[in-house]
Chains A and B, each alone.
Chain A
């Protein structure tokens, strides 16, 4: 069981992600973040924080375009992340990547990827190096429910299985691939069961709103991957914005669904309640963390807005190594 300090760190991260995402949302509609496509992690916080907490520093994380939360959980400073949102020269990817393509080599965060499921075989390739050089580092590959219907998914799973690659395939099932419900497009709506077809360890399904449950399940998955090989795990969650922020998908039916998740299954609220019941009198400490994360995000925005735009010459850097 993680100690109080660790739990508070998770609370800090989950709060930071929520604050960061809500700020991004506001800045987007304010046109202070430009570009069209941005995919928020609000609602998924317990998965990103719980899963990344189960990794060592030398383990790897790679994810889809819904990548802000993973970048933050991996410990990347919000300042260069926010600068990237705004396309600044000092953004984490020099302004070339934007929201969907955050990455930091020093954090072993291999990035977000805009092509659905395109990063899965890359994750297998990264894991191959671990086997090749007799290391015991593992790769946490987060993917959405939609990715599990794509050809990349099947090839990557098969390859990881035949070569015993240390990958944790963690499906963040938020119920919708863009606007289409999972059961309408997946012959096997219990997505984790797809592992069975490749003779892969299936660790089943976990409540993606409970950070402790995610942490425990991913820890078990990491241990298995380190020792044995690939493993699949599904975490059920819900996203609070549309697929992307420009996607105003919520009709009346979905509004009811959204309200239910927000009121009854919000990961941050649930974790806050858990901490309040476990540690009497912690409220003030949590409040201080809320304020600190608010300030951190505001600082990141201030920093990002003060940063220079890329120059014309920057267009031509890093084409060939």
Chain B
């Protein structure tokens, strides 16, 4: 085991996959000599050269589309979108082509593509460097969506994403790139895309979160355990699409209460789907209302530091939401 940061784990996953499979290549803005805006690809250009670590023009839709085309030929592209906020020009290619190709060709072609992108706020990035975009894509069958919160999961899931025959959106909590550290095995391992992870076992209520919010929710759960004697179960969803209904239902069957946390804004966010799953299939298990704690419905994460703090969920705010639900 080695202790490393989230970004190191992500880089290691790519390095090992590049080493393992000559079909794997990386493209995106500044991924080459510059090593990526967050240094996710640092050192890879030196090691693998121009053909496999490809600096792209500033053209997001084509970064993704080139990746789709190459994936159709059975290469294994990893496309980096510098910030999730910049993914919108590629929306058409992701939704209309990548997600549908296997379907529309009746299985003749599949799209083994990974799109990596840092998401999320709390870094002073303002409206166009802080967004969470998972809900836009979680509506689209044919895509897979992964949002890791620990270095261990990030490395194992990214390796699975590269080996997956389907298009995988891999959203990385950029605030945690260097803030989140954890143990990572030294040998090759993967974590399957799909299953959620019980990050903390508990009896009193279930909290569902992913990415940076899974990290914060763990801090909040320890806080309420210490201060209030509340025993919260924390489920780190890890994969948003396909959704792990079994894990969600099993946890609520045990605890009877559910809180969903995300830093994307509330309305039509990913939490709404979990609430709907619980309403449809977990009604009998519930001893209280399904609650969501999410960012407010404003058009973006504002620049001003105090406003950003109002916007962002944090461990204290999540702890309060846990206490409110526990008291119901």
Contacts and interface: CB of A to CB of B under 8 A. Distances in A.
Interface residues of A, number: 39
Interface stretch (B32-40, B103-111, B227-235): B103-111
Nearest to B54: A163
A303 B269 CA distance: 48
Given A105-B108, A162-B57, A320-B166, A132 B72 contact: no
Given A121-B65, A318-B103, A132 B57 contact: no
A239 interface: no
Interface string A93-108: 1111100010111000
Given A105-B108, A132-B75, A152-B61, A125 B102 contact: no
A163 B59 CA distance: 14
A124 B51 CA distance: 15
A113 to B, nearest CB: 8
A318 B93 contact: no
B141 interface: yes
B68 interface: yes
A152 B57 CA distance: 13
Interface string A44-63: 00000000000000000000
A93 B106 CA distance: 5
A94 B103 CA distance: 9
A126 B105 contact: no
A125 B142 contact: no
B42 interface: no
B67 interface: yes
B66 interface: yes
Contact of A124 (B25, B62, B110, B141): B62
A105 B70 CA distance: 14
A96 B106 contact: yes
Contact of A155 (B62, B67, B69): B62
B106 A125 contact: no
A125 B105 contact: no
A125 B66 contact: yes
Interface string B52-84: 001011010110011111111111010000000
A126 B69 contact: yes
A320 B56 contact: no
Interface in A92-143: 92-97, 101, 103-105, 110-111, 113, 115, 118, 120-129, 132
Contacts of B316: none
B97 interface: yes
Contacts of B195: none
Interface in A154-185: 155-156, 158-159, 162-163
Interface in B201-238: none
A94 B66 CA distance: 26
B73 A126 contact: yes
Contacts of B279: none
Contact of B66 (A101, A104, A151, A159): A159
B72 A321 contact: no
Contact of A96 (B72, B77, B96, B103): B103
A126 B57 CA distance: 18
A298 B77 CA distance: 44
A317 interface: yes
A181 to B, nearest CB: 26
A125 B70 contact: yes
B97 A122 contact: yes
A319 interface: yes
B234 to A, nearest CB: 28
16 contacts: A105-B105, A110-B72, A111-B105, A113-B97, A115-B92, A118-B93, A121-B61, A121-B66, A121-B69, A123-B69, A125-B67, A126-B72, A152-B65, A317-B107, A319-B142, A321-B166
Interface of B: 25, 51, 54, 56-57, 59, 61-62, 65-75, 77, 89, 92-93, 96-97, 102-112, 141-142, 144, 165-166, 242
